[in-house]
Structure 1
C-alpha cells in the first residue's frame, strides 16, 4: 500500500494564519515597492473584484469594470494611513510596471 506524504496534524486553535490566508485570497497579495525613493503599497485587484471604472494616471485611459489592475498608495506619507488610503490611485498593471 502506498504511503501518504500529507501531514496529518491539525493547526492549533486560535491560529490566525487561516484568517490571513482568507484575506489574501479575497483581496490579493499586498506588497511594498519603492520608486524613486518613495515607498508605495501595491494591492492587486482581480477581475472579479474590479467593479468600478477608474482613470489610470499612467496612461490617462479608462480601467473598465472587470479588468485586472493594481491600486497604489504611499506607504510613508506624513499625514497618516487614512490620508494615504484616500490618495490611492488605480493603475493598469502594465502602466505601473513601466512607471
Structure 2
C-alpha cells in the first residue's frame, strides 16, 4: 500500500484545517500582512487582482493576502497574481 505523504485534515492543527498553501508574514506599506500562496488546484473562483486589475481565472496559482496587524478583517483579503504581488514594490 502506498504511503500517505500528507496529513489528513483531522490530523492538522485546528487553525490549519481546510487551509491550503504556504503561509508567510511580510511587512509592506507600514503594515504586517499574512501571505498565502495557493496552487491552481485549490482555486475555484475568478478574482480580480488589485495589482493589475485583471481577472485571476479558476485553476490559476496565485497569492492571497490580508492584514495581520489586528486592524483588518477577513473582508480585507485580496487575491493577487503572484507576479503582481512580487512587483508591488516597484
Q: TM-score, normalised by structure 2?
A: 0.74
Residue of 82, 85, 90 corresponding to 1:96: 85
Q: For residue 66 of structure 2, what is the aligned residue in structure 1?
A: 73
Q: Tell me which structure has the larger Cα radius of gyration.
A: 1
Structure 2, unpaired ranges of 5+: 1-10
User: How many matched pairs?
Assistant: 76
Aligned equivalents of 1:32 and 1:48: distance in 2?
23
**CA RMSD after TM alignment:** 2.0
Q: Could you say which structure has the higher strand fraction? A: 2
| Correspondence for 2:40 among 26, 47, 58 | 47
Unaligned 5+ segments in structure 1 are 1-17
Segments ≥4 residues shifted beyond 2 Å: none
